[in-house]
Amino acid sequence: MIELCELAVRFDRTHAVRGVSLEVAADEWVMLIGPNGAGKTSILRALCGLLAFDGQATIDGRDVRSLGRRALARLIAFVPQNPVAPSELTVAEYVLLGRTPHLGYLGVEGRRDRQAVARALERLDLLPFAERGLGSLSGGELQRAVLARALAQEAVVLLLDEPTTSLDLGRQQQVLELVDSLRGDGLTVLSTMHDLTLAGQYADRLVLLDRGTIVAEGAPRDVLSPETLASHYGANVRVVHDDGDVFVLPQRG
């Protein structure tokens, strides 16, 4: 579904991303992990047209650069790490904005758009919140509203940049379960993730980036080894394997 070939992103003269080649199959969930500044977010932003890049990127066989902005937005929904949540809009109004790529420049939503939004709200249990102001939502509810906007876009690819930032442990699990269930509806997910234990539990495949290049790739149990994490994160961790799950535990000393 997503194919990257020798992708490179440059800021002035330094490379944020270099020679990244990656394939994500339909309905797969791949997580990009790596230390700060490894280039995880830049890859997502390049894919959805927010950053210029060298190399090749295709979605469903279509070249990302040859697609217009609107056509691209119908294929890819992007949820940034800190979405702007204008407190002056209601949840319904906010999720309706997700229909923008399906409307003409000065168009107004029709019945099909409202139905798509209703489906997205229902899917994320947000119907009772439809008329509430965004400013009155809790962190978890807000993240669901942002996901609902992405769903309303009816894209085939969902890009999530650190979807669990600033959520408590329970909300983190809720959001990740939700995203996991969305894949059943035919959504391919590429996300970045800081929490390695959660990353190992939810991703089909992990891609470890360091200084803009891929340094390890594969099943969580293969990528998350103490040696790899020590050399790329500079972290001292213990990795516990239990019943197929991988737990990454930081330790002192």
Partner 1 sequence: MAVDSIRGAEAAVRARGVSRPWRLLAGAFLAGSLLVGLGVGPVGIGATGIVESALSHLPFVHVHSPLSALEEAVLWQIRAPRVVLAAIVGGMLAIAGSAYQGVFRNPLADPYLLGVAAGSGLGATLAIAYGHVGRSGQLLPLASFVGGLTAVAATYVLGRSAGAVRTASSLVLAGVTVTLFLTAIQTFVQQQHTNTLRDVYAWLLGGFSTASWKQVAVAAPYVAVSSLAIVLHRRMLDVLSVGDEEASSLGVDVPRLRLALVVAATAGTAAAVSVSGLIAFVGIIVPHTIRLLVSTSYRAVVPLSFVVGAGFLVLADVLARTIVSPAELPIGVVTAFFGAPFFAVVLRSARTMR
Q: Which residue ranges make up the site for partner 1 (CB under 8 A)? A: 48-50, 68-74, 76-78, 80, 83-86, 88-90, 92-98, 100-101, 103, 105-109, 111, 114-115, 117-119, 121-122, 127, 130-131, 153
What is the separation of C-alpha 200 from the centre of its chain, rounded to a whole number of angstroms?
15
Which one, 70 or 241, has the nearer CB to partner 1? Answer: 70
CA-CA distance, 250 to 238, in Å (whole number)?
A: 6
- DSSP for 2-51 reads EEEEEEEEEETTEEEEEEEEEEE-TT-EEEEE-STTSSHHHHHHHHTTSS
| ∠ Cα 105 111 114 (to 5°) | 80
Residues in a beta bridge with 24: 2
- Residue number, 17 or 248, with CB nearest to partner 1: 17
Report d(CA 218, CA 223) in Å as an integer.
6
Minimum Å distance from CB 208 to partner 1?
Answer: 26
Residue 172: CB minimum distance to partner 1, A: 22
We find the least distance from the C-beta atom of residue 84 to partner 1, in angstroms, to be 4
Cβ of residue 173: shortest distance to partner 1, in angstroms?
26
Q: Which is nearer to partner 1, 32 or 157 (CB)?
A: 157
Dmax (CA) of the chain: 61
Nearer to partner 1, 116 or 248 (CB): 116
Phi and psi angles of residue 249, each rounded to the nearest 5 degrees, phi first: -115, 120
- Taking the least distance from each CB to partner 1, the nearer of 56 and 90 is 90
What is the nearest approach in angstroms of partner 1 to the Cβ of residue 181?
16
**Whole-number minimum distance, CB 106 to partner 1, in Å?**
5
3-class secondary-structure state, position 244: coil
Which is closer to partner 1, CB of 42 or CB of 153? 153
Rounded distance between C-alpha atoms, residue 36 and residue 194, angstroms? 9
The smaller minimum CB distance to partner 1, of residues 33 and 73, is found at 73
C-alpha angle 67/71/72, rounded to 5°?
Answer: 70
Min dist. Cβ of residue 70 to partner 1 (A):
4
